Amino acid sequence: MRGGERRISAVMAIGALDSAIFADMFGTAAMREVFGDDAFLARCVEVEAALAQAQGRLGIIPAEAADAIAHAASSLANGREALDLVRLKTETETVGYPILPLVRQLAELAGASGRYLHWGATTQDIMDTAVVLQIRAGLTLIEEDLTAVRGHLAGLARRHRDTPMAGRTHLQHALPVTFGYKAAVWLYALDRHSQRLRELRPRVLLAQFGGAAGTLASLGDGEKSLKVRAELARELELDDPPITWHVVRDGIAETVQVLALLLGSLGKIAFDVMLMSATEFGEAAEPFVAGRGSSSTMPQKRNPISCELILAAAKVLRQQAGLVLDAVVTDFERATGPWHVEWVAVPEAFGYAAGALQQARFMLGGLIVDAGRMAKNLAMTHGLIVAEAVMMGLAPYTGRNEAHDVVYAACRLAIETDRPLLDVMLETPAVAGPLGLEKLRALTDPANYLGAAPNMVDRMLAGR
């Protein structure tokens, strides 16, 4: 313990989240503190102490024993004592789980009162509740970063409400939109993810205490044992479930699915920005930082590093979302293996989600938007992007199908001769006759064909 503390020697990292090189590109220090070994053990100790306190108040164990256990836990928390991690690791490898080795050391610190530690509990009770505490802390970090990212998107939508640009479908010019509209569409998805994160909390932030098979039989009286679980939940500020949930893992799985959905939406944003930063588009760029995104051979390069990291994280997290679904399929009253995949999937899901959000926060917080280049690209087809506007303007005179065929032919001619659509239309009697010069000039101006895009931006920003 303190003075004779034994810690595990550093283990070579084989994953990006623990890498001395890549850890802060794919993850964050704050999330590592939540899901690291020290934090997990601290949460397990916290649960053991809370259980003892709950049982002491209800007379299940002596109150003085509960106080001694809480004091021992406090000594670990404030650094007066320390776990022998070498011993813990060795014993965990023998037992297969870390709780019995942890209980042994905590009981030694509690002295004679240590005999009442872990009373009526089983390993999964402690580990599940500890992980729920980690998830709660992880969700808080995720929501903080998500709120900041949503704020950046709202700012972009507001500033560029009326900034016209080419809307693209199948990578080709479709109709004019505004960049504010594009940012508001991105924001709409993240708003829903924020709502999902709030809504899942009551389904996942639950205390787990059921004993060997979930029935709490070791505590005797049924009602009194249920009071222990309720008191444990109150002590940890968690919800008290109506029944043991250790073999129904949907709450844990839902959490990872929502994180995967969130990163899917961040990936869409990153994909759009990455394409917009291509030389041929030049409409947006990640914030400039000297040397960031540099090429080892091409001095002119400024690669979209944050976008690339977000896309990679989204793909990796998708695999964890699939993996954690395997843990939902459990056998009988204690799973033989599926639970273990959560030990991998849950920390990594939170790690990659935090990293992607940090990258998005940086990228969107300083996104460089080139409205001039957007206007230039919008005009590059000389009005073809608003051919639909001409068709709809002509339709009342000729009928919709006839208008389509006339405008289609004019578009083909404009493309073949590389001339502005307006010039070709003026030479097409079936169009110029009913519409005239001024009407055609208005119809072929992309800025006049934004539809309800600005209005939808206003609706997205209302109340912010």
Q: Among residues 387, 312, 367, 384, which one has the least CA distance to residue 179? A: 367
Q: Which of 74, 246, 295, 296 is catalytic?
A: 295
Distance in angstroms (rounded) separating the CA atoms of residues 260 and 27: 15
Determine which helix (DSSP H) or strand (DSSP E) holds 331, and give its type and residue range: none
* 265 catalytic per annotation: no
Distance in angstroms (rounded) separating the CA atoms of residues 10 and 4: 18
Distance in angstroms (rounded) separating the CA atoms of residues 326 and 336: 12
For CA atoms 73, 77, 80, 83, the dihedral sign is positive
CA-based angle 389:390:396, to the nearest 5? 100
Task: State the DSSP string of 153-215.
Answer: HHHHHHHTTT-EEEEEETTEEEEEEEHHHHHHHHHHHHHHHHHHHHHHHHHH-B-----SSSS
Distance in angstroms (rounded) separating the CA atoms of residues 436 and 32: 66
Q: Which of 170, 194, 277, 382 is catalytic?
A: 170
* 294 catalytic per annotation: no
Q: Among residues 342, 440, 346, which one has the least CA distance to residue 386? A: 440
Rg (CA), the chain: 30
10 Å CB burial of residue 246 (0-12, 13-18, 19+) is buried
Active site amino acids: 170, 295
